[in-house]
Amino acid sequence: MSDVEVLYQATPNPESMKFTITKTICDEVVSFSEPLEATRSPLASKIFGFPWASAVMIGPNFVTVTKQDWVDWGILADPLSHLIKEHIESNEPILLEPTLNSNEDFNEDDSAIVKKIKTILNNEIRPAVALDGGDIMFHKYERNILYVEMHGACNGCPSATMTLKQGVQARMQAALPEIKDVIAIN
């Protein structure tokens, strides 16, 4: 008998639900926006087996699921919580192989400002948005504009623009005044 619990909570994005797991299930954050991307994760593939699933993000102790708007969380949340719990308790793999996330790794040819941006993203911003079941990843920095990718509950969230401008952009400009704008690409 396992002591694993899977609790769910609403996120700022009404189409996404965060399922918090009382044990660590992996050591990275991985997002999948379609079934073909999910081949690395048996759990995400299982969730994409349902026609209402539109995105899955897996983190160290949570799974964020984004649904189609034609189905209600009142119908999905309990069964999905049980499905995740059963998957974990049966010791099925969460991720098949570790891969490096090239977006967040420091490259030797990164400029000093890109290294600082990635440090702030990894140490301050990503942990904060993960609390709501989301993730923000570095995409590129050029011409004093920071481009980021929003995943999980952040992708399509009604308050994502406010988070991006009042949270991410404000923090980045406080540390690096040369940043003129932060733009989400998806």
pLDDT, one tens digit per residue, over 118-173 is 888 887 788 778 878 888 889 999 999 999 998 888 887 878 888 888 888 988 99
How would you label 18-30 residue by residue, b for 16+ Cβ within 10 Å and e otherwise?
bbbbeeebbeebb
Checking if the pLDDT of 30 tops 80, the result is yes
User: Which pLDDT score is estimated for 96?
Assistant: 83
Q: What is the CATH number of domain 112-185?
A: 3.30.300.130
Scanning the structure block, which residue is given the tokens 């995943």? 151
Domain ranges of the chain: 6-89, 112-185
Residue 123 to residue 161: CA distance in whole angstroms: 21
Fold of 6-89: Ribosomal Protein S8; Chain: A, domain 1 (3.30.1370)
Report the percentage of the chain scoring pLDDT > 70: 94
* DSSP helix/strand/coil, 136: strand
In angstroms, rounded to a whole number, what is the distance separating the alpha carbons of residues 167 and 155?
15
Q: For 61-84, what is the mean pLDDT?
A: 95
Torsion angle of the four alpha carbons 65, 68, 72, 75, in this order, in degrees rounded to the nearest 10? -60
The closest of 120, 89, 131 to 3, measured between CA atoms, is 89
pLDDT of residue 105: 61
- Split at pLDDT 50, 70, 90, the class of 2 is low
In sequence order, which residues have a C-beta less than 8 Å from that of residue 143 and are 6 or more positions away? Answer: none
* Residue predicted with more confidence, 119 or 19: 19
pLDDT band at 102 (very low <50, low <70, confident <90, very high): very low
| pLDDT of res. 99 | 45
Model confidence at 98: pLDDT above 80:
no
Residue 120: per-residue pLDDT: 86
Does residue 97 have a pLDDT over 80? no
For residue 100, what pLDDT band results from cuts at 50, 70 and 90?
Answer: very low
